[in-house]
Amino acid sequence: MIDVCFFCKKELKSYTLSYQLSGEDTWTTFATGTKNIEEDVLGRLDTTTMENGVYKIRLLAEDFGGNRKTITRKIIVDGNLKLGVISTVEILL
């Protein structure tokens, strides 16, 4: 499991979290929201059923001023038994 945490000086209007296996074209959404957010866990990516490899996590965010930003981070999913493992990805905006 990976918790995606968000820290921002501006409040978010909406966001979408998705992941992509390196070398693939398709992004898979795993969390969205429209609540007023300044600091919180935006989503939890369940890696227990994902194949091992390098992935990208992408945050598409918009604040109340209409400003949009995209942030991408790489993660590595590895191991035969991933149950109970929780990591954190922190995103500063």
Q: What is the pTM of this model?
A: 0.77
Segment 46-65 mean pLDDT: 87
For a pLDDT cut of 90, what percent of the chain falls above it?
A: 23
Q: What is the pLDDT of residue 81?
A: 60
Segment 15-31 mean pLDDT: 93
How would you write 6-44 as a 3-class SS string?
EEEEEEEEEEEEEEEECCCCCCEEEEEECCCEEEEEEEE
80/11 Cα distance (integer angstroms): 39
For residue 46 the two structure tokens come to 């369940």
Question: Cα 67 to chain center, whole Å?
Answer: 19
Q: Is the pLDDT of residue 31 over 80?
A: yes
As a whole number of Å, the end-to-end CA separation of the chain is 23
Segment 48-75 mean pLDDT: 88
70/68 Cα distance (integer angstroms): 7
- Across the chain, what does the average pLDDT equal? 78
Q: Is the pLDDT of residue 15 over 60?
A: yes
